[in-house]
Amino acid sequence: MSNVNSKNLISGAKAVMKKIHPCGSNLFLITRTGADVKLKCLGCNHKIMLDLQKALKSIKKILPPEPPSMT
């Protein structure tokens, strides 16, 4: 399990949450960081805003952002 801290929170990265969202997904896209963290559910596109400490406590693992494809 990766160590989650505020330096790991990067816009565009994906976060695996400890609890499952009501839609059944536990994968969220980090869209904004700072004092608050804005997350978008990748299952239903619902957007949530959490304060930094609550977000750090709720995130199990952070997946790095995908590099842009060269097509």
- pLDDT, one tens digit per residue, over 19-58 is 999 999 999 999 999 999 999 999 999 999 999 999 999 9
Q: Show the domain range for 52.
A: 14-63
C-beta separation of 57 from 8 below 8 A: no
pLDDT of residue 45: 96
Tell whether 44 is covered by a domain.
Answer: yes
Tell whether 23 is covered by a domain.
Answer: yes
Tell whether 4 is covered by a domain.
Answer: no
User: What is the CA angle 8-63-35, rounded to 5?
Assistant: 35
Tell whether 69 is covered by a domain.
Answer: no
Tell whether 41 is covered by a domain.
Answer: yes
Tell whether 68 is covered by a domain.
Answer: no
Tell whether 43 is covered by a domain.
Answer: yes
SS3 content of the chain, % helix, strand, coil (to 5): 10, 35, 55
Give the three-state DSSP class for 37.
strand
Tell whether 9 is covered by a domain.
Answer: no
C-beta separation of 60 from 39 below 8 A: no
Give pTM, 2 decimals.
0.84
Backbone angles phi, psi at 16, to 5 degrees: -95, 120
The number of folded domains in the chain is 1
